[in-house]
């Protein structure tokens, strides 16, 4: 566990109308890279903000943009049925070009604090989808997707008209490395689709690694959701994520 300290605050991304973002920075030292962090469909929750702070304690500038700013600024929904319903409404209102524009703004903003290191996109569930979607159009040295759904077979408006992994050649053109984590018992995406994701990435020449956890379901990283959290898988995935960040976000 890192013994680094971090500071965090909300900032505005760009000038004029646009999203805010939750920015966490290492204290007392120059960042060794930058990370755009995209969360589950519950919005910019305390859990997501905590992930940014954990990354900052490890030495990275981390920024979680508010993708819901057009309809529910700084949305932060609970894990109960009411919160799930609100999250689904906001998720289905997202549109590809708007999300990609927000990602590009977030990348530009966080790189100003990144100390000259590389830049990654890291996402969870819906955010995992957003990270891979970003890989088709926004340059990232590393993309990390935790149980990102709808990657190849679609199923939400954000995946229209073509899911991101169906555009694997675009991922190859924009992304240095793609790392994916998946629980074999995930209900959002089947194990068969996960395997086909790998086949598409391999065929397009995308440098990547897929890590599958047997007997683990969707949402295994979120320790605020005991019904889905898996400590062993979460710990392993986080260690792998930090190793990938260290490897791919080195200073030029």
pLDDT at 17: 84
Number of folded domains that form the chain:
1
d(CA 216, CA 250): 32
d(CA 135, CA 178): 8
Tell me if 51 is assigned to some domain: yes
pLDDT at 250: 79
pLDDT at 15: 72
- What angle do the packed helices 126-135 and 96-111 form, to 10 degrees? 80
Tell me if 167 is assigned to some domain: yes
Is the pLDDT score of 2 beyond 70?
Answer: no
Per-residue pLDDT, averaged over 72-88, amounts to 97
Q: What is the pTM of this model?
A: 0.96
Per-residue pLDDT, averaged over 22-31, amounts to 96
End-to-end CA distance of the chain: 26
Tell me if 49 is assigned to some domain: yes
Q: What is the DSSP string of 21-35?
A: EEEEEESSS--S-EE
Tell me if 11 is assigned to some domain: yes
Q: Does residue 161 have a cis bond before it (omega within 30 degrees)? A: yes
d(CA 40, CA 125): 5
* Residues 95-151: tens digit of each pLDDT: 999 999 999 999 999 999 999 999 999 999 999 999 999 999 999 999 999 999 999
Q: For residue 212, what are its two tokens?
A: 């599958």
As a whole number, the mean pLDDT across the chain is 96
d(CA 34, CA 50): 16
- What band does 252 get if pLDDT is binned at 50, 70 and 90? very low
* Residues 44-69: tens digit of each pLDDT: 999 999 999 999 999 999 999 999 99
> What is the residue range of 17's domain?
6-248
Q: What is the DSSP string of 229-251?
A: --HHHHHHHHHHHHHHHHHHS--
Per-residue pLDDT, averaged over 20-44, amounts to 97
CATH of the domain at 205: 3.40.50.1820
pLDDT at 1: 44
List alpha helices for the chain, DSSP H. 46-57, 81-93, 96-111, 126-135, 168-174, 191-204, 231-248
Is the pLDDT score of 178 beyond 90?
Answer: yes
Tell me if 1 is assigned to some domain: no
pLDDT at 16: 72
Query: Rounded to 5, what percent of the chain is helix, strand, coil?
Result: 40, 20, 40
* Residues 212-233: tens digit of each pLDDT: 999 999 999 999 999 999 999 9
Closest CA to 172 of 200, 192, 148: 200
């Amino acid at each position: 566990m890192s013994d680094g300290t971090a500071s965090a605050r909300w900032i505005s991304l760009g000038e004029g109308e646009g999203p805010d973002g939750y920015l966490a920075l290492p204290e007392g030292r120059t960042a060794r890279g930058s990370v755009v962090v995209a969360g589950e469909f519950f919005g910019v929750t305390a859990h997501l903000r905590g992930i940014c702070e954990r990354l900052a304690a490890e030495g990275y500038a981390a920024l979680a943009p508010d993708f819901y700013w057009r309809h529910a600024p700084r949305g932060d929904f609970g894990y109960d049925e009411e919160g799930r319903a609100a999250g689904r409404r906001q998720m289905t209102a997202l549109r590809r070009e708007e999300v990609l524009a927000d990602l590009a703004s977030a990348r530009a903003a966080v790189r100003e604090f990144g100390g000259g290191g590389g830049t990654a996109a890291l996402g969870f569930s819906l955010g995992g989808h957003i990270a891979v979607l970003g890989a088709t159009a926004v340059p990232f040295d590393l993309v990390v997707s935790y149980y990102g759904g709808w990657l190849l077979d679609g199923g939400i408006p954000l995946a229209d008209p073509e899911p991101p992994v169906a555009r694997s050649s675009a991922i190859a053109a924009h992304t240095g490395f793609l790392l994916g984590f998946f629980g074999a018992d995930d209900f959002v995406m089947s194990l068969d689709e996960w395997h086909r994701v790998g086949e598409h990435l391999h065929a397009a020449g995308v440098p990547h690694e897929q890590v599958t956890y047997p007997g683990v379901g969707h949402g295994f990283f979120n320790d605020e959701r005991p019904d889905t959290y898996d400590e062993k898988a979460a710990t392993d995935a986080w260690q792998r994520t930090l190793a990938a960040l260290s490897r791919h976000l080195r200073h030029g």
